[in-house]
Amino acid sequence: MTRSLDVSLRPQSEAPRPLIAVDRAIAELRRGQIVTVLDQGRAIGLLAAEAVAEDSLARLTSLSSIRPVVLLTARRLGALGVEGPENGVARLVSAIGFDAETIAILANPCAEIEPGPTPAGFTVEPGYTMEEACIALAKLARLLPACVIVPLSDVVPDNAVIVESDEILRHQVAVARSLNPVAEARVPLSQAENARIVAFRPSDGGIEHLAIVIGDPDPDQAILCRLHSECFTGDLLGSLRCDCGDQLRGAIGEIAAAGSGVLLYLAQEGRGIGLVNKLRAYQLQDAGFDTLDANLQLGFDDDERIYLPAAQMLDRLGIHRVRLMTNNPAKVAALARHGIEVAERVPHVFPSNDHNQGYLLTKATRSGHLF
């Protein structure tokens, strides 16, 4: 007799204060507002670079006697052809200051501004923990990884949204560990009529990840499993620029044909950079960059995803051993690091088309995917 998965719903505990603080800071950044970041007695005012306008920049400037500093990732700095740290975050300091247009040129390779030379007149300094936390917060907000900051005096602005730098840096892990099932329903699919969807929500109230459970998997066995990062353009619209839609529907069909298994639909669009930034990367690809270099031009790493949420979902379902459908060895290693045994890597390959051949070649030659 097989043992069924545990998808029982349990009352959620109240979210820890740090999760709430970071969630509020994310929302504030996305609205183009100033956030206060604290670290070991220091306080800074922070704006997301892509949300900077002359009026918001003026408000930020008024909070300090020191001119604003621009933060960029080392990857974005390298894309600009500016010497600086090889990794991490860089501080751009100018004796005359930065205007909104200059900040846009520095932060966004897709900015609709008359092309010209990279702005000059600044010096580059390495960033440290607080600056790394600022860039991490911009990434969590699915904004470009670029910020504008000023040091604050002892007086924090009225009605300020305040967050600690260590809370930001620990946020992804804390959110993943708080995932719990909050809803479950039977959803017959065209390729798998015996299917149900379980929604997992983090305790900060953030976006849900989904588990598509097909058939009746036995957790005492190695379960056929696919980790699928959401792809609005490929999954929903049938975009030919990637193979995501083929992989999603193909995995559902293969799991159904095998009798049972689980597909985890993970909310990490565009290898973790978000839909808007993925569209920016597409714009850069049309200008001649490959899929990895486009991400680097934007200032991101080539892959910003983490797989702790997937491991936590499997654990909540009572699954600790899988046969993983993937061409990406990094997924195998990531699950193993988080306590999920990968008994077998199951190849998951589909024919290319005229629009995604270069994309798939880049994944094979630069990201180590096995096709």
**113: buried, middle or exposed (CB in 10 Å: 19+, 13-18, 0-12)?**
exposed
**188: buried, middle or exposed (CB in 10 Å: 19+, 13-18, 0-12)?**
exposed
Which pairing describes strands 146-151 and 42-48: parallel, antiparallel, or unpaired? antiparallel
Output the known binding site: 226-231, 242, 244, 247, 269-271, 291, 326, 331
Q: Which of 290, 293, 302, 303 is catalytic?
A: 303
Q: Active site includes 17?
A: no
Output the known binding site for Zn(2+): 231, 242, 244
**What letter would DSSP give residue 356?**
T
Q: Active site includes 39?
A: no
Contacts of 272-277 with CB under 8 Å at 24 or more apart are 272/229, 272/303, 272/304, 272/305, 272/306, 273/139, 273/142, 273/298, 273/300, 273/304, 274/142, 275/142, 275/232, 276/142, 277/142, 277/143, 277/144
Q: Which of 196, 241, 305, 316 is catalytic?
A: 305
Widest CA span of the chain, in angstroms?
74
One-letter-per-residue 3-state SS of 206-243? CCCEEEEEECCCCCCCCEEEEEEECCHHHHHCCCCCCC
Torsion on CA atoms 266, 271, 272, 274, rounded to nearest 10 = -100
Catalytic residues: 303, 305
